[in-house]
Structure 1
């Protein structure tokens, strides 16, 4: 039997499903970083926030030794992470050993971390710059143009997911979401004679089956006032 290798579309669909189940910014970013290692086949991945004053905030690391690599760049004021933010463009580093854009200090730190090639993609969450998605390989030439394209797609997915997770943490938005879900539950309870606990279970199953946010499903239900048939797996 021929082994099936998932397409980019299939991988992004899986990522969307996993991010749908993530709770909050931290878990969302952890999901993206973990998925990068599987989708691109790199040894390490990370996402950090660094502003133009070079204040660093590490959001997720697949390996804790990457933290020192980042702190070294901030300490010396140079490196690919800082360049990616300042120039707001992706960086592909084919081989650390022959890279000349940064000092030997950065080269040594990368080699100590076991890195020979890397991709850095700036991530804009709405209009806010400063997040960088990074993928690392222990071999030279570890990434090609296809990997760079996939990394861009993953960065885009991450930006959308982080923005939504931030909204969920916003008290005003959270209140609106609770109101939407409450109205949707009322419709289900009346239509199918359910108690509130059972209605919530049904709404969650609608959300899971359609791979959409609970609030989006609730909004659609309120607007149409025509709930779908009860899910068999609810």
Structure 2
């Protein structure tokens, strides 16, 4: 890898690192990651991300074209392929020529049929419930080398960080919204029944326990009664 290319890589990595710290949708960040893969890794004709849940459900996102989604669908149909293997087990999975690939015979034949000859996939460390992989594809054989593996591994790390940051923000927003609803419900009870803050919360808690209903759902019901 040449010095100018190293400098370009460092600049792009710095920009990606900043995107992780800025509250943005995970879809936007993942689209940036696949776009950077196209720009930074020579020979990449398409890039995308595959998520696989424990129940077998899958989601194909951030594709730079329809090709990654088509290939993901093939892998989930055949239950085999490099992206699936990277998501579920191996950190890096590389195929130099799908015409000679024996690990996933059904998928490889289908990939060749639509013109894909090389692949490079990286495991995304997302959560205990969802596996993921960053996937690169090329229409020529031997498109990817060790440098591609190095750059792709860094991009995959940024993608994983973006996913975790987004999920943390979503959980935080949900917690704040729940707190606000409970606060509104307490205020309604305090005004309606002349109770103080502690007694109002205790009423909510008892209603939750007696009906085996989440406290935030009880709060929502109380708020709904305000217009009654």
Q: TM-score range by the shorter chain?
A: 0.5 to 0.7
Give, in angstroms, the shift of residue 95 of structure 1.
1.0
Query: Which stretch shows the higher mean deviation, 85-94 or 32-41?
Result: 85-94
> Which structure 1 segments of 5+ residues have no match?
177-234
2-side partners of 1:147 and 1:22: how far apart?
29
2-side partners of 1:38 and 1:9: how far apart?
13
Contact 1:167 / 1:173 at 8 angstroms: preserved in 2? no
Contact 1:84 / 1:90 at 8 angstroms: preserved in 2? yes
Give, in angstroms, the shift of residue 172 of structure 1.
4.4
2-side partners of 1:22 and 1:36: how far apart?
22
Q: TM-score, normalised by structure 1?
A: 0.65
Give, in angstroms, the shift of residue 62 of structure 1.
0.7
Deviation by residue 1:44-103 (Cα, 9 ceiling, x = unmatched): 110110134432111211111322221121112222222223324310111111111111
Contact 2:82 / 2:119 at 8 angstroms: preserved in 1? no
Contact 1:73 / 1:106 at 8 angstroms: preserved in 2? yes
Compared with structure 1, are the counterparts of its residues 169 and 113 closer, same or farther at alpha carbon in structure 2 (3 Å cutoff)? farther
1-side partners of 2:91 and 2:4: how far apart?
34
2-side partners of 1:86 and 1:169: how far apart?
25
Q: Secondary structure at the match of 2:142?
A: coil
1-side partners of 2:139 and 2:23: how far apart?
29
2:146 is equivalent to residue 141 of structure 1: no
Give, in angstroms, the shift of residue 22 of structure 1.
6.7
2:153 aligned partner: 152
Query: Which stretch shows the higher mean deviation, 49-58 or 148-157?
Result: 49-58
1-side partners of 2:55 and 2:175: how far apart?
32
> Which structure 2 segments of 5+ residues have no match?
178-228
2:37 is equivalent to residue 31 of structure 1: no
Give, in angstroms, the shift of residue 39 of structure 1.
1.2
Residues paired across the two proteins, number:
173
1-side partners of 2:138 and 2:5: how far apart?
20
1:60 aligned partner: 62
Give, in angstroms, the shift of residue 11 of structure 1.
2.7
Q: Secondary structure at the match of 2:72?
A: helix
2:123 aligned partner: 122
Query: Which stretch shows the higher mean deviation, 110-119 or 15-24?
Result: 15-24
Q: TM-score, normalised by structure 2?
A: 0.67
The structure with the larger Rg is 2
Compared with structure 1, are the counterparts of its residues 50 and 4 closer, same or farther at alpha carbon in structure 2 (3 Å cutoff)? same
Q: Secondary structure at the match of 2:62?
A: strand
Which of the two has greater helix per residue?
2
Compared with structure 1, are the counterparts of its residues 173 and 9 closer, same or farther at alpha carbon in structure 2 (3 Å cutoff)? farther
